[in-house]
Structure 1
Amino acid sequence: MPFVYQFNRLLKLNYDKQQMMESEYQQLYEQLEAVGQKLVDLLKRKEHIQDKLSSELAERIPAGSIMDIQQQLKHIDHLIADIQNQYQQKKQALEAANQQLVEQSQEVKKYEKHRHKQWLQYSEAEKKSDNRKMDETAQQQFLRQ
């Protein structure tokens, strides 16, 4: 009689759920990277505009031009604040997904460990059964002689 694990369906369901969670985690990670890259790009853009403002202040340009640059800086600061907020939200979502993934992995390992224990018990019972059959066969052959 072959080994059949009684909780095989649960193990498969939990394993499939773990695979799905890993996929979701990967998507969240990629989203976090994208938001992080946007943030870096905005910070570089802000630095470039600040350098432009500094150089134009040294050249004594019209006040209207300086006000335009300052307006651009305010707009970029607002965008940076929004992107930082998005980044924090994505980071928290990623950390929550990671925690759920860890818990799901533990659940799968629990079932795998249980399956292994049952397989060892099955294997031991099969060995005993085979030994008993061999003893009975040997006993019957001895009695026939």
Structure 2
Amino acid sequence: GGHRTPPPPTDAASNRPRDGGQRGEEALRGALANCCARDEDPRCRAGALAALSGMARVGDVEIVQMALSRLTDTFLDMRLAAVESLSRTARAGDPAVLSALRSRLGEGGQQRNPSRNACRAREANAVRIALVRALAVLFPEHDAG
């Protein structure tokens, strides 16, 4: 009988080999981060942040910082993606994140120079609702009594 080499170790969750997968994931994260920062299409930027958030673990500093920097984006979908990203990746009780979300809520969820029209009001409403939901998820729980 011939000697068979054992299969490479696998990640229990996905049952895929570990070694090449790590490099592939890092390359994908890099490409998505680049897209989030530089793509011309704001929908692509928002989608890249959403994809990064889906890959991230809770407390992923890089993704949390990226999302924080997008809370004031001029594009509605980007602001919404940033809030959603923070609710998925920030640690509950993170003071910097809670402060940023509260600050945006205080500004009414609007972009920096909002024009006064119904569309902007609806956008601000959508962002405010997302901010409130994120704060509910991230606010540290207190024991009653």
Q: So what's the TM-score if we normalise by structure 1? A: 0.28
Which protein is bigger by CA-based radius of gyration?
1
Greater fraction helix: 1
> Which protein has greater RCO, CA pairs closer than 8 Å, 6+ apart?
1
